[in-house]
Amino acid sequence: MQLDSKIPGGPLETKWDRHRFDLKLVNPANKRKFEIIVVGTGLAGGSASAALAELGYNVKTFCIQDTPRRAHSIAAQGGINAAKNYPNDGDSIWRLFYDTIKGGDFRAREGNVYRLAQVSNLIIDHCVALGLPFAREYGGLLANRSFGGAQVSRTFYARGQTGQQLLLCCYQGMMRQIAAGQITMFPRREMLELVTVNGQARGIVVRNLLTGEIERHAAHAVVLATGGYGNVFYLSTNGAGSNVSAAWKAYKKGAGFANPCYTQIHPTCIPVHGDYQSKLTLMSESLRNDGRVWVPKQAGDKRPPHEIPESERDYYLERIYPSFGNLAPRDISSRAAKLMCDQGKGVGSTGLAVYLDFADAIKRLGRKVIEERYGNLFQMYHKITDQDPYEVPMMIFPASHYTMGGLWVDYNLMSTIPGLFALGEANFSDHGANRLGASALMQGLADGYFVIPYTMGGYLGGTPLTEVNTSHPAFTEAEAAAKARTEKLLGIKGKRTAASFHRDLGNIMWEYCGMGRNDEGMKKALKLIADLRGDFWQNLLIPGTDKNFNQSLERAGRVADFLEFAELLVTDALARRESCGGHFNEAFQTEDHEPLRDDENMCHAAVWEYAGEGKDPIFNKEPLVFENVKLAVRSYK
């Protein structure tokens, strides 16, 4: 597998400028001769669809929800970063770049991340012009807050609904282009196969989820913006429909999959409370600005929180990380919570929770201020748990939230398959081993609004493409494969539902390849996953048929892919002989339980190549070169 990152040479600050100049352009009259398929309508796919359509390309956009506005990006709460430095507190493009690289534990490409920081400001400008009601100061200018462990206030937000408002910008932009005839929208479609012709991505095969019909769609290029694979853990903060299937199909057609073991566990989620549970709800990280995290000092202390005196509480984040305290980055806070629970200090009926306490903040600021800042979050917590966080400390626990790994892409966001691009959470590009808060929204929109419009032109303008339509044998073949698989799934007629297999898979992954990993556990996981997959293909039960709307069938297909993908995730985790960011192998830690990187041997992206059914995936690596920053221990003490 050829892994050319295509990072332009020269100084970091001018790489993107120079690259844009070097990229081929497509003349305006020719743009309408090109068709582009975009799969996914989250921030990445939505912005890409709108921006490409505005340029005059013919765009066909697909999503599994009933309308693009419901993509999972809608759930993002906290905010979006940009290097505007409006608060005059020392931010700059360089600092955003550096923070992102460091936050990613030095496992991302300098060139990509610098570009991300550069275009971040344009995103804010564009979204404001589109009417996004960002929070404002009384003077009428934009407000910022500090978020996710950053020491500058660079996060723009719209109450606790930033993702929603950003997605509505993309959605409304798309609706405008649909009305203009530039985008054809295909909602309730699930991509089942990627179609390649002469090694180039030329189309997709989808299932119409309403009618069950298998449809073929051809284009000159395909953009995947299908989100992350956090649902491999079954319980996660992701939407129920989030899946790895589209990326997995691309992988099986030859696209490299990079760093699947980098998964982010978010520290502030509402703990699990029953085995019927279907999802975990995130409580925005902003809560940690005022809440204090603690557990009883004494393991096994089952007293209710108000009976535990101050002197018997361990505010462990403040104790271990005095300079960042409760604002320590996600991976660090999550692991610390796990450590406390492993030591038997966890609280709540399951012992799998820690307190997030606002009593001090309420005393200091008054209930009204807290209500203003977090009212909607407190209300949400109250609704779900039936407990009033103004009176009783919240209980929180880490949960799977975001996945840094994804399809390998070069500087142009193109995968190892020519003509196949990957955007947003679906690619691996910018966050290294750990993502900072409020940076995923930034990356999705940077990719869609400000990178792909250029690099797509570069590809289409500079690549000879033959005429291909949907009667090409490659489409026939892909359709046959998709149908055969559906038939196979329906033909099993076993005794267990896809949901129950999914739950079992989640348990395996959380237990053996979650926050703290070790070789023994991971090896065991590989075996358990293989067994579970075997059972799945023997014992799966899907009610109904493939001829109409069948949610059980949809679910089964996605779980089948997760069952294959999980193995790759664990394989990658085993191969990474270090701890970094979201990947923590207990064999690689310092004395005080901090992750221990191995920059000498592990400073690379691990890129996996599909070798065929039943064969071990092939390992490739893209070495990471740091010319501008010095690799340092990522300390938040």
Partner 1 sequence: MSGKNINLTLKIWRQNSPEDRGRWEIFQAKDISTEASFLEMLDIVNEQLALAGKEPVAFDHDCREGICGTCGCAVNGRPHGPDRETTLCQLHMRRFQEGDTLVIEPYRARAFPVIKDLVVDRSAFDGVIQAGGFVSVNTGQAQDANNLPVPRDDAERAMDAAACIGCGACVAACPNAAAMLFVSAKVSHLAVLPQGRTEAARRALSMVAQMDAAGFGNCTNHKECEVECPKGISISNIARLNREFIKAGLASKE
DSSP 409-459: --TTSB-SSTTEEE-GGGB-SSSTT-PPTT-HHHHHHIIIIIIHHHHHHHH
| 384 lines the binding site for partner 1 (CB under 8 A) | yes
Contact positions with ligand FAD (CB under 6 A) in 24-43: 39-43
Residues 450, 512, 584, 636: which binds partner 1 (CB under 8 A)? 450
User: Residue 19 in contact with residue 411, Cβ under 8 Å?
Assistant: yes
What is the rounded CA–CA span in Å between residue 233 and residue 239?
12
SS3 261: coil
What is the rounded CA–CA span in Å between residue 428 and residue 404?
6
| 130 lines the binding site for partner 1 (CB under 8 A) | yes
| 79 lines the binding site for ligand FAD (CB under 6 A) | yes
C-alpha distances (whole Å) from 557 to each of 232, 251, 402 are 13, 16, 22
208-211 contacts: CB < 8 A, separation 24 or more?
A: 209/64, 209/549, 209/554, 210/548, 210/549, 211/547, 211/548, 211/549
The nearer residue to partner 1, 65 or 518, going by C-beta atoms, is: 65
Q: Which stretch binds partner 1 (CB under 8 A): 129-137, 194-202, 307-315, 615-623?
A: 129-137
Site string for ligand FAD, 535-574 (x = CB under 6 A): ----------------------------------------
C-alpha distances (whole Å) from 276 to each of 280, 435, 500 are 12, 30, 10
DSSP 461-512: HHS------TTSHHHHHHHHHHHHHHHHHHHH--SEEHHHHHHHHHHHHHHH
C-alpha distances (whole Å) from 599 to each of 374, 432, 569, 623 are 40, 13, 21, 11
Contact positions with partner 1 (CB under 8 A) in 203-262: 210, 239-241
The count of residues interacting with ligand FAD (CB under 6 A) is: 47
Q: Which stretch binds ligand FAD (CB under 6 A): 195-203, 256-264, 435-443, 507-515?
A: 435-443
Q: Is 20 labeled as catalytic in the residue annotation? A: no
The nearer residue to ligand FAD, 314 or 561, going by C-beta atoms, is: 561
- The residue assigned the tokens 């989808």 is 206
CA angle 442, 123, 452 (to 5 degrees): 75
Q: Which stretch binds ligand FAD (CB under 6 A): 75-83, 121-129, 349-357, 468-476?
A: 75-83
Of how many residues is the chain composed? 637
The nearer residue to partner 1, 54 or 215, going by C-beta atoms, is: 54
Which residues are CB-neighbours of 8 under 8 A, at least 6 positions away?
Answer: 15, 16, 18, 19, 22, 111, 411
C-alpha distances (whole Å) from 92 to each of 85, 97, 329, 545 are 6, 8, 20, 56
C-alpha distances (whole Å) from 615 to each of 28, 478, 568 are 46, 21, 12
The nearer residue to partner 1, 179 or 309, going by C-beta atoms, is: 179
Residues 93, 223, 246, 569: which binds ligand FAD (CB under 6 A)? 246
Identify what 63 binds: partner 1, ligand FAD, none; CB under 5 to 8 Å per kind. ligand FAD
Identify what 158 binds: ligand FAD, partner 1, none; CB under 5 to 8 Å per kind. partner 1
| 173 lines the binding site for partner 1 (CB under 8 A) | yes
| 77 lines the binding site for ligand FAD (CB under 6 A) | yes
Residues 159, 252, 483, 604: which binds partner 1 (CB under 8 A)? 159
Contact positions with ligand FAD (CB under 6 A) in 204-243: 225-228, 237-238, 242-243
| 78 lines the binding site for ligand FAD (CB under 6 A) | yes
Identify what 130 binds: partner 1, ligand FAD, none; CB under 5 to 8 Å per kind. partner 1
Smallest gap from Cβ 78 to partner 1, in A, equals 13
Smallest gap from Cβ 149 to partner 1, in A, equals 23
What is the rounded CA–CA span in Å between residue 636 and residue 542?
49
| 191 lines the binding site for ligand FAD (CB under 6 A) | yes
SS3 360: helix
Which residues are CB-neighbours of 525 under 8 A, at least 6 positions away?
Answer: 508, 509, 511, 512, 513, 566, 570
The half-sphere exposure of 26 on its side-chain side, counting CA atoms within 13 A, is: 23
The count of residues interacting with partner 1 (CB under 8 A) is: 83
What is the rounded CA–CA span in Å between residue 71 and residue 612?
32
| 345 lines the binding site for partner 1 (CB under 8 A) | no
Smallest gap from Cβ 243 to ligand FAD, in A, equals 5
The nearer residue to partner 1, 372 or 520, going by C-beta atoms, is: 372
Identify what 134 binds: partner 1, ligand FAD, none; CB under 5 to 8 Å per kind. partner 1
User: Token pair of 419, please?
Assistant: 């003509």
Q: Which stretch binds partner 1 (CB under 8 A): 104-112, 243-251, 383-391, 604-612?
A: 383-391
Residues 36, 44, 50, 482: which binds partner 1 (CB under 8 A)? 50
Contact positions with partner 1 (CB under 8 A) in 494-553: 495, 497, 499-500, 541, 543-544, 548-549, 551-552
| 129 lines the binding site for partner 1 (CB under 8 A) | yes
Contact positions with partner 1 (CB under 8 A) in 263-292: 273-274, 276-279, 281-282
Using left for φ > 0, alpha for ψ between -120 and 50, and beta otherwise, residue 526 falls in alpha
| 382 lines the binding site for partner 1 (CB under 8 A) | no
Contact footprint for ligand FAD (CB under 6 A): 39-45, 62-65, 71-73, 75-80, 162-163, 189-191, 225-228, 237-238, 242-243, 245-246, 282, 401-402, 424-426, 437-441, 444
Residues taking part in catalysis: 330
